[in-house]
A = this chain, B = another copy of it.
Amino acid sequence: MGRTDLEYPKQPYGTVKRYSPRASYALRTIHHIVNTAPILHVSFTTPDSPFPAILPMIGHMGSFARPSADEGDVLDLYLHGYVSSRMMNSSRAAPASDSNPPGLPVSVAATHVDGLVLALTPNSHSMNYRSAVLFGHATVVEETDEKLYAMQLITDGVISGRWPNTRLPPNGAEMSSTSVLKVTISTGSAKIRTGPPSDEKHDKENQEVVDRVWTGVVPVYQTYGDLIPGPYNKVDEVPKYLSSAVKDLNEIGQEQAVEAAGTTPAK
Protein backbone atom coordinates (compact mmCIF):
# COMPACT_ATOMS: atom_id res chain seq x y z
CA MET A 1 0.00 0.00 0.00
CA GLY A 2 1.58 3.25 -1.15
CA ARG A 3 1.62 6.40 0.88
CA THR A 4 -1.09 7.89 -1.34
CA ASP A 5 -3.45 5.22 -0.07
CA LEU A 6 -3.22 5.83 3.66
CA GLU A 7 -6.60 5.56 5.37
CA TYR A 8 -7.87 6.46 8.81
CA PRO A 9 -9.08 3.59 11.00
CA LYS A 10 -12.84 3.14 11.26
CA GLN A 11 -13.98 3.91 14.81
CA PRO A 12 -17.59 3.70 16.02
CA TYR A 13 -17.71 7.48 16.48
CA GLY A 14 -16.13 8.23 13.11
CA THR A 15 -17.82 5.83 10.72
CA VAL A 16 -20.18 7.07 8.02
CA LYS A 17 -23.34 5.02 8.45
CA ARG A 18 -25.62 6.26 5.70
CA TYR A 19 -25.01 6.39 1.96
CA SER A 20 -21.71 4.70 2.72
CA PRO A 21 -20.60 4.67 -0.96
CA ARG A 22 -20.20 8.41 -0.47
CA ALA A 23 -17.73 7.85 2.37
CA SER A 24 -13.96 8.11 2.22
CA TYR A 25 -11.33 7.43 4.84
CA ALA A 26 -8.36 8.43 2.66
CA LEU A 27 -6.03 10.87 4.40
CA ARG A 28 -5.42 12.74 1.14
CA THR A 29 -9.13 13.33 0.53
CA ILE A 30 -9.92 14.34 4.10
CA HIS A 31 -6.88 16.61 4.53
CA HIS A 32 -7.60 18.38 1.24
CA ILE A 33 -11.18 19.14 2.28
CA VAL A 34 -9.91 20.56 5.58
CA ASN A 35 -7.08 22.57 4.01
CA THR A 36 -9.32 24.24 1.43
CA ALA A 37 -12.16 25.13 3.83
CA PRO A 38 -12.10 28.85 4.67
CA ILE A 39 -13.55 28.07 8.09
CA LEU A 40 -13.60 25.03 10.39
CA HIS A 41 -16.06 24.25 13.18
CA VAL A 42 -14.41 22.91 16.31
CA SER A 43 -16.51 21.16 18.93
CA PHE A 44 -15.66 19.84 22.38
CA THR A 45 -17.52 18.66 25.43
CA THR A 46 -17.70 20.93 28.45
CA PRO A 47 -18.10 19.58 31.96
CA ASP A 48 -20.46 22.34 33.13
CA SER A 49 -23.02 22.24 30.33
CA PRO A 50 -25.11 19.64 28.48
CA PHE A 51 -24.27 21.49 25.25
CA PRO A 52 -20.93 20.94 23.56
CA ALA A 53 -19.03 24.11 22.72
CA ILE A 54 -18.79 24.83 18.99
CA LEU A 55 -16.49 27.51 17.60
CA PRO A 56 -15.52 28.71 14.13
CA MET A 57 -11.71 28.65 13.78
CA ILE A 58 -9.22 28.70 10.95
CA GLY A 59 -6.70 25.94 10.54
CA HIS A 60 -4.39 24.00 8.30
CA MET A 61 -2.73 20.60 8.36
CA GLY A 62 1.02 20.10 8.39
CA SER A 63 3.94 18.32 9.95
CA PHE A 64 6.42 20.38 11.94
CA ALA A 65 8.67 17.33 12.28
CA ARG A 66 8.64 16.79 8.51
CA PRO A 67 7.58 20.01 6.77
CA SER A 68 7.91 18.42 3.31
CA ALA A 69 5.06 15.99 4.07
CA ASP A 70 2.21 16.24 1.57
CA GLU A 71 -1.57 16.11 2.02
CA GLY A 72 -1.64 12.31 1.85
CA ASP A 73 0.74 11.89 4.78
CA VAL A 74 0.08 11.63 8.49
CA LEU A 75 -0.34 15.27 9.57
CA ASP A 76 -1.36 17.37 12.54
CA LEU A 77 -4.05 20.01 12.43
CA TYR A 78 -3.01 23.47 13.60
CA LEU A 79 -5.82 25.75 14.69
CA HIS A 80 -5.89 29.47 15.23
CA GLY A 81 -8.73 31.49 16.65
CA TYR A 82 -10.08 32.47 19.98
CA VAL A 83 -8.95 29.85 22.45
CA SER A 84 -11.00 30.39 25.60
CA SER A 85 -9.26 30.13 28.94
CA ARG A 86 -11.48 27.11 29.58
CA MET A 87 -10.32 25.44 26.37
CA MET A 88 -6.73 26.42 27.06
CA ASN A 89 -6.82 24.98 30.56
CA SER A 90 -8.47 21.77 29.39
CA SER A 91 -5.86 21.36 26.64
CA ARG A 92 -3.07 21.78 29.17
CA ALA A 93 -4.62 19.72 31.96
CA ALA A 94 -5.95 16.65 30.16
CA PRO A 95 -3.41 13.96 30.95
CA ALA A 96 -2.41 11.13 28.65
CA SER A 97 -3.72 7.68 29.46
CA ASP A 98 -2.94 4.21 28.10
CA SER A 99 -5.46 4.66 25.34
CA ASN A 100 -5.37 8.43 24.76
CA PRO A 101 -2.76 11.02 23.94
CA PRO A 102 -2.74 14.15 26.12
CA GLY A 103 -4.99 17.06 25.28
CA LEU A 104 -8.60 18.09 24.92
CA PRO A 105 -10.73 15.76 22.74
CA VAL A 106 -12.05 17.82 19.82
CA SER A 107 -14.12 17.12 16.72
CA VAL A 108 -13.41 19.33 13.73
CA ALA A 109 -15.74 19.67 10.74
CA ALA A 110 -15.09 21.17 7.31
CA THR A 111 -17.87 21.37 4.74
CA HIS A 112 -17.88 22.70 1.17
CA VAL A 113 -21.24 23.16 -0.54
CA ASP A 114 -20.70 22.47 -4.26
CA GLY A 115 -24.25 22.64 -5.54
CA LEU A 116 -27.99 22.59 -4.96
CA VAL A 117 -29.46 19.44 -6.47
CA LEU A 118 -33.04 20.10 -7.59
CA ALA A 119 -35.11 16.97 -8.19
CA LEU A 120 -38.74 16.26 -9.11
CA THR A 121 -39.83 15.60 -5.53
CA PRO A 122 -38.86 17.56 -2.42
CA ASN A 123 -37.56 14.31 -0.91
CA SER A 124 -35.05 13.70 -3.69
CA HIS A 125 -33.58 17.18 -3.35
CA SER A 126 -30.00 17.12 -2.18
CA MET A 127 -26.76 19.04 -2.17
CA ASN A 128 -23.44 18.35 -3.77
CA TYR A 129 -20.93 18.69 -0.98
CA ARG A 130 -17.59 17.59 0.40
CA SER A 131 -17.57 17.18 4.13
CA ALA A 132 -14.85 15.98 6.48
CA VAL A 133 -14.63 15.39 10.21
CA LEU A 134 -11.42 14.86 12.19
CA PHE A 135 -11.27 13.57 15.75
CA GLY A 136 -8.21 14.27 17.85
CA HIS A 137 -6.60 15.73 20.93
CA ALA A 138 -5.74 19.42 21.10
CA THR A 139 -2.75 20.80 22.96
CA VAL A 140 -1.41 24.34 23.11
CA VAL A 141 1.72 24.90 21.01
CA GLU A 142 4.30 26.37 23.40
CA GLU A 143 7.51 26.10 21.42
CA THR A 144 8.38 29.24 19.42
CA ASP A 145 9.66 27.51 16.26
CA GLU A 146 6.62 25.27 16.01
CA LYS A 147 4.30 28.21 16.65
CA LEU A 148 5.95 30.22 13.87
CA TYR A 149 5.71 27.20 11.57
CA ALA A 150 1.98 26.90 12.33
CA MET A 151 1.33 30.65 11.96
CA GLN A 152 2.93 30.65 8.52
CA LEU A 153 1.10 27.45 7.54
CA ILE A 154 -2.26 28.94 8.50
CA THR A 155 -1.62 32.39 6.96
CA ASP A 156 -0.38 30.95 3.67
CA GLY A 157 -3.24 28.43 3.78
CA VAL A 158 -5.69 31.33 3.44
CA ILE A 159 -3.71 33.32 0.82
CA SER A 160 -0.78 31.48 -0.71
CA GLY A 161 2.38 33.58 -0.35
CA ARG A 162 0.96 36.10 2.09
CA TRP A 163 3.28 35.37 5.06
CA PRO A 164 6.58 36.48 3.43
CA ASN A 165 4.83 39.60 2.16
CA THR A 166 3.93 40.98 5.58
CA ARG A 167 5.91 42.67 8.36
CA LEU A 168 8.04 39.90 9.89
CA PRO A 169 8.95 38.40 12.25
CA PRO A 170 6.13 38.69 14.79
CA ASN A 171 7.45 40.48 17.86
CA GLY A 172 7.41 39.14 21.40
CA ALA A 173 4.04 40.63 22.29
CA GLU A 174 2.49 39.23 19.11
CA MET A 175 3.92 35.78 19.75
CA SER A 176 2.63 35.64 23.30
CA SER A 177 -0.82 37.01 22.44
CA THR A 178 -1.31 34.42 19.67
CA SER A 179 -2.61 30.99 20.63
CA VAL A 180 -2.14 28.04 18.34
CA LEU A 181 -3.58 24.61 19.04
CA LYS A 182 -2.13 21.41 17.63
CA VAL A 183 -4.59 18.57 17.13
CA THR A 184 -3.08 15.08 17.05
CA ILE A 185 -5.52 13.15 14.88
CA SER A 186 -7.03 9.86 16.07
CA THR A 187 -9.22 9.30 13.05
CA GLY A 188 -11.40 11.00 10.48
CA SER A 189 -13.79 10.51 7.62
CA ALA A 190 -15.17 12.31 4.62
CA LYS A 191 -18.47 12.21 2.83
CA ILE A 192 -18.87 13.45 -0.72
CA ARG A 193 -21.94 13.81 -2.92
CA THR A 194 -21.59 14.65 -6.61
CA GLY A 195 -23.80 14.42 -9.65
CA PRO A 196 -27.17 15.40 -11.06
CA PRO A 197 -30.47 14.70 -9.31
CA SER A 198 -31.68 11.13 -8.95
CA ASP A 199 -35.42 10.60 -8.75
CA GLU A 200 -37.50 7.46 -8.39
CA LYS A 201 -38.54 5.67 -11.61
CA HIS A 202 -42.27 6.33 -11.11
CA ASP A 203 -41.62 10.08 -10.94
CA LYS A 204 -39.36 10.15 -13.98
CA GLU A 205 -42.12 8.35 -15.91
CA ASN A 206 -44.77 10.83 -14.79
CA GLN A 207 -45.00 13.02 -17.92
CA GLU A 208 -47.02 15.80 -16.28
CA VAL A 209 -44.38 16.17 -13.56
CA VAL A 210 -41.35 15.91 -15.84
CA ASP A 211 -42.81 18.53 -18.21
CA ARG A 212 -43.37 20.99 -15.37
CA VAL A 213 -40.53 20.63 -12.83
CA TRP A 214 -37.04 21.91 -13.72
CA THR A 215 -34.41 19.44 -12.55
CA GLY A 216 -30.68 19.86 -12.41
CA VAL A 217 -27.93 21.44 -10.37
CA VAL A 218 -27.22 25.00 -9.27
CA PRO A 219 -23.42 24.98 -8.86
CA VAL A 220 -22.31 26.75 -5.67
CA TYR A 221 -18.84 28.09 -5.00
CA GLN A 222 -17.06 30.69 -2.94
CA THR A 223 -16.11 33.81 -4.92
CA TYR A 224 -13.22 36.05 -3.90
CA GLY A 225 -14.22 39.44 -5.25
CA ASP A 226 -12.38 42.58 -6.34
CA LEU A 227 -9.84 43.60 -3.73
CA ILE A 228 -10.86 46.62 -1.66
CA PRO A 229 -7.83 48.62 -0.41
CA GLY A 230 -7.94 49.61 3.26
CA PRO A 231 -7.66 53.17 4.61
CA TYR A 232 -3.85 53.13 5.02
CA ASN A 233 -2.95 51.02 1.99
CA LYS A 234 -0.13 52.64 -0.05
CA VAL A 235 0.47 49.80 -2.54
CA ASP A 236 -1.43 50.95 -5.62
CA GLU A 237 -0.92 47.90 -7.75
CA VAL A 238 -2.16 44.60 -6.30
CA PRO A 239 0.97 42.41 -5.94
CA LYS A 240 1.24 39.43 -8.28
CA TYR A 241 1.24 36.72 -5.56
CA LEU A 242 -2.03 38.15 -4.27
CA SER A 243 -3.85 38.47 -7.58
CA SER A 244 -2.67 34.97 -8.55
CA ALA A 245 -3.83 33.48 -5.27
CA VAL A 246 -7.27 35.05 -5.65
CA LYS A 247 -7.49 33.97 -9.31
CA ASP A 248 -6.55 30.39 -8.41
CA LEU A 249 -9.07 30.21 -5.58
CA ASN A 250 -11.83 31.40 -7.92
CA GLU A 251 -10.94 29.05 -10.76
CA ILE A 252 -10.57 25.98 -8.55
CA GLY A 253 -13.83 26.65 -6.72
CA GLN A 254 -15.88 27.16 -9.84
CA GLU A 255 -14.36 24.19 -11.68
CA GLN A 256 -15.01 21.92 -8.72
CA ALA A 257 -18.68 22.95 -8.50
CA VAL A 258 -19.33 22.55 -12.22
CA GLU A 259 -17.49 19.24 -12.38
CA ALA A 260 -19.42 17.92 -9.37
CA ALA A 261 -22.70 18.72 -11.13
CA GLY A 262 -21.89 16.51 -14.11
CA THR A 263 -20.49 13.47 -12.38
CA THR A 264 -22.59 10.35 -12.08
CA PRO A 265 -24.30 10.52 -8.70
CA ALA A 266 -22.82 8.33 -6.00
CA LYS A 267 -26.26 7.43 -4.67
Contact = CB atoms under 8 A, between A and B. Distances in A.
A54 B107 contact: yes
A131 interface: yes
Interface stretch (A1-9, A66-74, A120-128): A120-128
B43 A12 contact: no
A84 B17 contact: yes
Contact of A231 (B196, B206, B220): B196
A204 interface: yes
A32 interface: no
Interface in A15-48: 17-19, 38-39, 41, 43-46, 48
A222 B222 contact: yes
A213 B225 contact: no
A183 to B, nearest CB: 11
A46 B58 CA distance: 25
B223 A220 contact: yes
14 contacts: A39-B127, A43-B52, A45-B45, A51-B135, A54-B109, A56-B111, A167-B203, A196-B231, A210-B234, A214-B242, A216-B229, A216-B230, A221-B222, A228-B262
